[in-house]
Amino acid sequence: MIRTLTSLLSFLFFGLVTHAQGNYVKEHYTKLDTTITMRDGVKLYTVIYLPKDVTQSYPILMERTPYSAGPYGDRYPQEIGPNTGLMKEQYIFVNQDVRGRFMSESVFLEVTPYISNKKSSKDVDESSDTYDTVDWLLKNIKNNNGRVGLYGISYPGFYATACLPGAHPAIRAVSPQAPVTDEFIGDDANHNGAFFLLDNFGFMNFFDMERKGPVKDYGKPVFQHNAKDAYAFFLKMGTISETNGPKYYNNKSVIWNEYLQHDTYDAYWRSRNIRQHLKNINIPTLVVGGWFDAEDLFGALQTYRAIETQSPNNQNRLVMGPWTHGAWGSNDWNKFATHEFGTNTSKYFQDSLETPFFNFYLKDKGYFNAAEATLFETGSNRWVNHAVWPPAASKPTEYYFGENNQLSLGRNTAKNSFSEYLSDPAKPVPYTNGTYARRNNEYMAEDQRFTSSRPDVLTFETEVLQEDLTLAGPISADLFVSMTGTDADFIVKLIDVLPDGEPNVKNAPRGFQMAGMQRLVRAEVMRGKFRNSFEKPEPFIPGKVAEVRFNLNDVSHVFKKGHRIMVQVQSSWFPLVDRNPQQFMRIPDAKATDFKKATIRLHHDATNAK
């Protein structure tokens, strides 16, 4: 799901405008707008592009989307398909508005739950809608070769995943890319139960407008929002409940109301976890994600992992590159933030992985011998291949917090050792350095020096590394904490500290010094009350030590010789994540007076040395 207007525009730019080809689509394809009737009688608007050369048969390559299958009618886009290479390969391309969106009938459901035991034609979901669409296409579109592939980025990535359980036998290749996968645990809406306020507030304003029937254009957003400083705006707003005030959503967004209502991992969220249904999948899949994807990094990694663990005989492959959300669809991606990759990573993906994947499985053309996991390794700036992911040769390595801000391989033996900070909801730690109207898309690679000097951020650092250190796989944070309140968030950040002599790169901001830069590698938040169960939150007992353990998303990163490893711990990440009142309660119901300061201790003694 694309959670900010900026991201949405970027995605549409990648999909419709890049690689401008003049009238290539119109010259080589015939466009057909039609509706396809589902088993329950609902008609889904579908746009089909047929190769004008009718001397041969073609596979069908389809994207199902809530972001419009248009342009509608006589208009032609500049580009069709996942990339220009596949467009020129000649496929029957199909774009479809999912039910309840744009020109399709019925009512839209947020991440439609899968129905595993369908008892009648009224039991419909995205799998059945895909099945019915494929069945119609095979019977009604001439010159198809009987094979179908699906792809999609973000929300369309979810629809690609959703076709896998109960799939039509003609589906031979599927590529879920940055797919929405589990919105309470790690994608879009929440991370470990912590609500991602900034992205969702902006996204739903442009996504969940009222619709009384099929429309080509939704028109105006739910409300007008022109704040130039997101941090100041949300701090002044005060509480999540104010988002439903008369100036903003005012109960006009169904999905926003659902988000605020379902603040635990209840049946609403559990039913929308597609991972549990990815069993016995034997359709070749190419799961794609980006290390700098602020929306669905979790989705790519966990969709791959779910297929691997529940479908032992699969043909499942993972590609992770140095990309933001959907950036592998761009024309050129050789740098990001202060990273310079030395190669066009998006072109490599399109030419060497995505195009051969669909050509091989849908056309019997060429070969597809990609490794199980093809990953771009940050730090060393190179592509690496692995036979399994995480790599079989990797081994868990524990680093411990210690006195004097030390991070070391040795356990602290002191009997009473802790670090503490005062977490004040009135002065939350910003997620980024600077003033931004919307999310700073570079925050996942940002210099953290702006937080390391704050008294409400704990910083731990290793000695200078004497040799390169490679991290490959997931990261686990294991904290032993106590507090004066009854709830708190915990944000753990893994940071690569560059040496004092680090030279600047060409794309560094003017005046920025990379020497000593604390470059973010990975970060994640955990809402403390969910430390033992996402379904049944528990309060902390003031003054009592409690363990808070959670996973950060995977990395493939080399800490170079001469660098240092840093870990920061804090209890706010605003306004990326909504503020925790630091009292055990339903946060969507919190009032301004419910937000309290809390002293938080991170224990790292002989008993609690983590």
Query: Cα 563 from chain centroid?
Result: 29
495-516 burial code (b ≥16 CB/10 A, e <16): bbbbbeebeeeeebeeeeebee
CA distance 249 to 225: 11
Residue 608: predicted pLDDT: 85
177 SS3 class = strand
- Residue 95: which domain range? 5-182+272-321
| Residue matched to tokens 């390969």 | 89
Q: pLDDT tens for residues 119-136?
A: 999 999 999 999 999 999
Residue 559 within a domain: yes
Q: Domain ends where: 299, 321, 343?
A: 321
With contact defined as beta carbons under 8 Å apart, do 516 and 441 qualify? no
**411 pLDDT higher than 60:** yes
**565 pLDDT higher than 60:** yes
Burial of 395 (0-12, 13-18, 19+ CB in 10 A): exposed
CA distance 261 to 72: 36
Q: Domain ends where: 287, 321, 355?
A: 321
* CATH code: domain of residue 64: 3.40.50.1820
Same domain for 9 and 98, yes or no, is yes
DSSP structural state of residue 574: B
Same domain for 317 and 413, yes or no, is no
CA distance 7 to 153: 12
Q: pLDDT tens for residues 28-84?
A: 999 999 999 999 999 999 999 999 999 999 999 999 999 999 999 999 999 999 999
With contact defined as beta carbons under 8 Å apart, do 116 and 124 qualify? no
**17 pLDDT higher than 80:** no
Residue 290 within a domain: yes
Percentage, residues of the chain above pLDDT 70: 96
Torsion 503-505-506-508 (CA) sign: negative
Same domain for 316 and 439, yes or no, is no
With contact defined as beta carbons under 8 Å apart, do 260 and 240 qualify? yes
DSSP string, 526-562: EEGGGSS-SSS--PPPTT--EEEEEEEEEEEEEE-TT
Residue 225 within a domain: no
Closest CA to 16 of 69, 60, 61, 59: 69
The Cβ of residue 418 has, within 10 Å, a number of other Cβ atoms equal to 18
CA distance 34 to 491: 49
Residue 567: predicted pLDDT: 98
Stretch 282-305: mean pLDDT, rounded?
A: 98
Residue 78: predicted pLDDT: 93
Cα atoms in the 13 Å half-sphere on the side-chain side of 271:
13
Same domain for 299 and 413, yes or no, is no
Q: Which residues contact 269 (CB under 8 A, 6 or more apart)?
A: 182, 183, 184, 262
Residue 365 within a domain: no
Identify the band that residue 22 occupies on the pLDDT scale cut at 50, 70 and 90: low
Stretch 180-192: mean pLDDT, rounded?
A: 97
Same domain for 160 and 294, yes or no, is yes
With contact defined as beta carbons under 8 Å apart, do 575 and 230 qualify? yes
Residue 370 within a domain: no
Q: pLDDT tens for residues 510-526?
A: 889 999 999 999 999 99
With contact defined as beta carbons under 8 Å apart, do 129 and 98 qualify? yes
Same domain for 39 and 147, yes or no, is yes
Residue 366: predicted pLDDT: 97
Residues in the chain, how many?
A: 610
To the nearest 10 degrees (0 to 180), the angle between helices 254-261 and 197-207 is 150
Same domain for 313 and 434, yes or no, is no
CA distance 94 to 550: 41
Same domain for 408 and 307, yes or no, is no
Q: pLDDT tens for residues 418-439?
A: 999 999 999 999 999 999 999 9
Residue 418 within a domain: yes
Amino acid at 61: L
* CATH code: domain of residue 447: 2.60.120.260
Stretch 441-460: mean pLDDT, rounded?
A: 97
Residue 508: predicted pLDDT: 81
CA distance 189 to 407: 32
**13 pLDDT higher than 70:** no
Closest CA to 306 of 297, 316, 294: 316
Same domain for 168 and 276, yes or no, is yes
Same domain for 37 and 157, yes or no, is yes
Same domain for 52 and 165, yes or no, is yes
Stretch 14-20: mean pLDDT, rounded?
A: 40
Same domain for 306 and 441, yes or no, is no
Residue 121 within a domain: yes
27 SS3 class = helix
What's the mean per-residue pLDDT of the chain?
Answer: 95
Tally of domains in the chain: 2
Residue 609: predicted pLDDT: 66
With contact defined as beta carbons under 8 Å apart, do 146 and 168 qualify? no
**184 pLDDT higher than 90:** yes
DSSP structural state of residue 503: P
Amino acid at 338: T
Closest CA to 311 of 275, 343, 342, 359: 275
267 SS3 class = helix
CA distance 26 to 51: 10
Cα atoms in the 13 Å half-sphere on the side-chain side of 443:
22
**Nearest-5° angle of CA 366, CA 372, CA 377?**
110
Burial of 228 (0-12, 13-18, 19+ CB in 10 A): exposed
CA distance 431 to 593: 24
Torsion 298-479-595-538 (CA) sign: positive
Q: List 547's β-bridge partners, or say none.
A: 480
Q: What is the value of pTM for the model shown?
A: 0.95
Residue 80 within a domain: yes
